[in-house]
Structure formats: structure tokens, C-alpha cells
Amino acid sequence: MLQLQPVSEKVDLIKLHAATCFSMTQFINGHQCPKLAHLIVQQFSLLVSHPELEQVSASREMYQQLLEHWQKVTTYLLEQHAVRELPSKRH
């Protein structure tokens, strides 16, 4: 049963990677909302901390860079959303 653990973790990593790619595809195809961007950030956070990547620094670094990028995207979208929510000033 000990051998199943690494296989299970690898499958989890593959599924998480695929889900993240799918989320980014949805975002690129027009669903550019803060909620989806935040989901992508959460997914990259899980990828960065995944036990399968402890010994694969190049992959972790790549996911870390993507995480930082999507954190900026999320912040930008939240700021844009907040600006649109402000009541317009009428004179």
C-alpha cells in the first residue's frame, strides 16, 4: 500500500495541473472575472506546495512565477471591479 501513495499523489498533481490549464483557458476565452482569477491563484498555490514537486525545483519555480502573475491579474481585476462599483458623480 505504500507504493500507491506516490502514484496517487502523481495522479492528483496531473489532475490539478489539468484543472488549472482548463481554468486559464476559460479565462482566456472571455470569462475574465475576479472569481475565476482567484480560483487560478488557489490552484497554483496548491501546485507550488504539492509534495510531488519538492524535488523538482524547475517546475516549482515555474508554478511560483505563474502564481505571482495570477495574483497580479486578480488584484487588477478586483481594482477594476471596485472602480466600476463606485457610484457615478452627477452634478
Other Cβ atoms closer than 10 A to 56: 13
d(CA 1, CA 16): 23
> Across residues 4-20, what is the average pLDDT?
86
Mean pLDDT value of segment 24-33: 94
DSSP code string of 45-79: HHHHT-GGGTT-HHHHHHHHHHHHHHHHHHHHHHH
pLDDT tens readout for residues 57-89: 999 999 999 999 999 999 999 999 888 877 665
How much is the pLDDT for 22? 98
pLDDT score recorded for residue 25: 97
Q: Is the pTM of the predicted complex or chain greater than 0.95? A: no
What is the per-residue pLDDT for 7? 77
Distance CA 22, CA 27 (A): 9
User: Tell me, what's the pLDDT at 3?
Assistant: 47
Res 76: pLDDT: 96
